[in-house]
Amino acid sequence: MKIDPKTQDKFFNVLKAVVIPRPIAFISSQSKEGGLNLAPFSFFNGVCYDPPTVSVAIARFAGKKPKDSLVNIEETGEFVINLVNRDMAEAMNQTAAEYPADVNEFELAGFTTAPSEIVKAPRVAESPVSLECKLIQVVPVNEGSQKECGLVLAEVVYCHIKDGLFDGRYVDMEGLNLIGRLGGHDYCELGDFFKMKLPVYKPKGE
Ligand SMILES: Cc1cc2nc3c(=O)[nH]c(=O)nc-3n(C[C@H](O)[C@H](O)[C@H](O)COP(=O)(O)O)c2cc1C
């Protein structure tokens, strides 16, 4: 089967099912008036190591109410990415409906706020890792189209990780127990781990 994304209007279901598993950036942000907001985004990835930089793509579809997270990030220039473990999954999902801007999804889904160190927005106390972020820029993607996105590029300026999960060198992956987003309505827990060291190129004769 061959698929031309231009003529298959469900191609987003293919894209979401094959670019997997995606980490979930559970973003806490604040409006400039101080209203709290919490919502999940899985078009999320690392971009650079130093300074640590991440990207999150947030849709800005024509004719639709702008997503509060993107509005807040653009207005305040800061936010927190809270990573999601298995215990948080169902409550995280509750926050993803299109609630009016004045709804506080922390209260709605039963999450607890914990103070951040550098940014104003609080982090999610239940999350095993939270990354405080400062906005670098929002890159408009497919600008002017019906399905425009704002690609948020941000520097991680502070990290909170639950005690015992980082030994100063490596993170305890099993202890983190993060979940991933798949296609359709599917999510995954991390299954079996296996290790592979990066190969080192040795020129012949050395
Ligand atoms: C697991 C999950 C991942 C999501 N990923 C994205 C994403 O990457 N980009 C996006 O625009 N919306 C994504 N959404 C939808 C937003 O969470 C949803 O539109 C939410 O209502 C936005 O909230 P806000 O208006 O408070 O920012 C995702 C939803 C879920 C449940």
Continuous H helices in 59-188: 68-76, 89-94, 105-109, 173-176
pLDDT of residue 86: 97
pLDDT beyond 80 at 156: yes
pLDDT tens-digit profile of 86-137? Answer: 999 999 999 999 999 899 999 999 999 999 999 999 999 999 999 999 999 9
Number of the ligand 1 atom closest to the C-alpha atom of 38: 26
pLDDT beyond 90 at 167: yes
Mean pLDDT of 45-62: 97
Ligand 1 centroid to 66 CA: how many Å? 11
Number of the ligand 1 atom closest to the C-alpha atom of 92: 31
Mean pLDDT of 57-68: 92
22, 31, 42, 146: which to mutate for ligand 1, most atoms within 8 A of CB?
42
Label residue 206 by pLDDT band (50, 70, 90).
confident
Ligand 1 centroid to 27 CA: how many Å? 9
Task: Please give the structure tokens belonging to residue 93.
Answer: 């999902």
CATH of 11-189 given 2.40.50.100, 2.30.110.10, 3.40.718.10, 3.90.870.10 = 2.30.110.10
pLDDT tens-digit profile of 6-31? Answer: 999 999 999 999 999 999 999 999 99
Number of the ligand 1 atom closest to the C-alpha atom of 70: 27
Instruction: List all residues 6 or more positions away from 30 whose beta carbon is below 8 Å from its beta carbon.
Output: 36, 37, 72, 76, 120, 121
Label residue 63 by pLDDT band (50, 70, 90).
confident
Ligand 1 centroid to 139 CA: how many Å? 18
Ligand 1 centroid to 40 CA: how many Å? 5
Q: Pocket around ligand 1: residues whose beta carbon is below 6 Å from it?
A: 24, 37, 39-43, 57-59, 67-69, 93, 96-98, 181
Q: How many CA atoms lie within 13 A of 143 on its CB side?
A: 4
pLDDT of residue 191: 87
pLDDT of residue 127: 98
pLDDT of residue 101: 86
